[in-house]
Structures are given as structure tokens and as C-alpha cells.
Amino acid sequence: MPSPQVIRKLIIFTLMASSAFAQGPRVTIVNTPPNPAKYGKKIYPWKKNITATVFWVGEKPTPNNPTPNDKSSWDTQWMKNFGGYDNPKKSARNGLVPKAFTPKQNPFYIALPYNDCLNHAMHKPEASRVIPWFKRINPKPGQTVCKGRWVQIVANKKVCYAQWEDCGPFVTNDYEYVFGNKRPKNTKNKNAGIDISPAVRDYLGVGNSATVHWRFIEFAQVPKTGPWAQLGDNNPFRNPEANPDRLARLRYFEYLRKRRDAAYLKKDIRRSK
């Protein structure tokens, strides 16, 4: 037979369990995360008649472009991670890629004049307010939500798609233009407002300076049949984990799972009464 001390503990435990059962399960109220699926057909405004200039991974500094491109605003090993020097000379290219190597990242890349991060631990104060997808991503402090986003570019009666991989030309704080309706604040190179890679240049059939229209586009809307879908470990067509909305989807699915489990728990408790 159990000792009086054991019996006393069993009685106390039973009373506590009964009280907790009577009160029902504890429910933690959390904000509903955005459902990424509803953004799949989101339409962003066009930036029309924008001067585009050409830049490339590994570009050396010049008087007209004093910033070297062996690293990007978000990748200190950009040239290494890309696989080498993305030589823009037509004689050094095999179609849309360099002859010397097969790029390890998407050769269809661009730069826009905004960086959402101040440093590795902090975003710019306006970032969460002006970037349309910022809250959807819900990034950690200092984690960029711009790198890897897709844009649609129109020029020379052709349409091209590319990923945002660096900041420029010349400025990195022009959110009024990048996400708003202002013209580029940069005054150099005919007020250039976007840099395009050699692959983008050659696909569009333009020169090293061109007038383009561009806009952001959701990855779900990017055609998977173009050359922009063929290469790169940073390319969601080749590596699903590179999808900028992947974590947002996982977070939303986890939220739905918790709601489902909570609903089942409540139903079981009502049945047991």
C-alpha cells in the first residue's frame, strides 16, 4: 500500500490536473503571418524610360565607376561565389555566359540604387515601411530582403528577367525611386537608374547604355522557359531553397499547423466533458 506521503502527492497532482482541465488549454495569441500565396500575382508599377548601364562581377574600378565589383553590397565573396570574372567582351563570351567558366550563380543579375541594410545587424529605418515584401519575409536584423528579388526588364521589343544582386549605380539610398514614383536621384551616366549584367544586355540586344522599362515581379510570375532559369545556386529554378519567399511559406504553414492542432485539442476536450 502506498505511504501517506505518496497518497498526499497523488491527491495534490489530481487536484491540479483537474483545475487545469477545467480551465481548458492555454492558447497563445499570435499575429497571423502573411500568406505568401496571395502575393503570387501581385502587380508592381513600371519604372519607365530608365537609363540602364552595364556592370559585371569582377569589374575593376575606373574613373567613371570607382567601386570594384569583386564583392557586392551583400556578398563579400561575390566573384568567388559567382565562379569567376564575368567578362563583358563579346569575344570572351559563349552566347550569354563567359567562355572561361560556367557561372555558379545566375548570370542574369542587376543592381538597383538601394541597400536595405546599414550593417550586418541593422536595417535602415525606412526599410520595413517602404519595401513591399519586407513584412512578408520578416527578416532577422541586418538580413537583406532585397538580394535575389526578381525584376522584369523591357527594351528593344524584348522582355528579360533577372535577380537583384547588388546596389547601384552610384547611390544606395534611393528608396523613393526604387520603391516609389520618383525619378532616379543619381545624375551620372544620363541619370542611370539600373545596372544590368552582360547576359541581360546581350539577351535584350542593347549596348552598354540603353533606355529600359523595369518593374519588380514575383518569382511565381517569372517564365521558367527562359535562359534566366538555367543556371545558378542562387536561382530558385535550380535551387528551391533560394526562393526569397520560401521561409515565409514555411512560417505560414507552421502557423496553420498550430491552428489545426489547437482546434483538434479544443474538440477533444469538449467531447471528454
Q: Domains of the chain: which residue ranges?
A: 39-242
Determine phi and psi for 91, rounding to 5 degrees: -70, -20
Q: What is the pLDDT along the chain (273 residues), one digit of tens a residue?
A: 445 454 454 444 444 444 444 444 444 445 666 665 666 678 999 999 999 999 999 999 877 777 889 999 999 999 999 999 999 999 999 999 999 999 999 999 999 999 999 999 999 999 999 999 998 888 899 999 999 999 999 999 999 999 999 999 999 999 999 999 999 999 999 999 999 999 999 999 999 999 999 999 999 999 999 999 999 999 999 999 898 777 666 666 665 677 677 777 777 677 776
**Single-letter amino acid, residue 71:** K
Whole-structure pTM value: 0.81
Q: What is the pLDDT of residues 35-74, one digit of tens each?
A: 656 666 789 999 999 999 999 999 998 777 778 899 999 9
pLDDT for the residue numbered 253: 61
The answer to whether the beta carbons of residues 133 and 149 sit under 8 Å apart is: yes
pLDDT for the residue numbered 15: 44
258 sits in which H/E element = helix 246-272
Q: What is d(CA 30, CA 12) in angstroms, rounded to the nearest whole number?
A: 33
- Listed in order, strand segments (DSSP E) in the chain are 47-54, 93-94, 97-98, 109-112, 117-119, 122-123, 150-155, 158-167, 194-196, 209-217
Average pLDDT, the chain: 86
Size of the chain, expressed as the number of residues it contains: 273
Determine phi and psi for 128, rounding to 5 degrees: -65, -20
Half-sphere exposure for 5 (CA within 13 Å, toward CB): 0
The answer to whether the beta carbons of residues 184 and 191 sit under 8 Å apart is: yes
Half-sphere exposure for 82 (CA within 13 Å, toward CB): 27
Name the CATH topology of 39-242: Barwin-like endoglucanases (2.40.40)
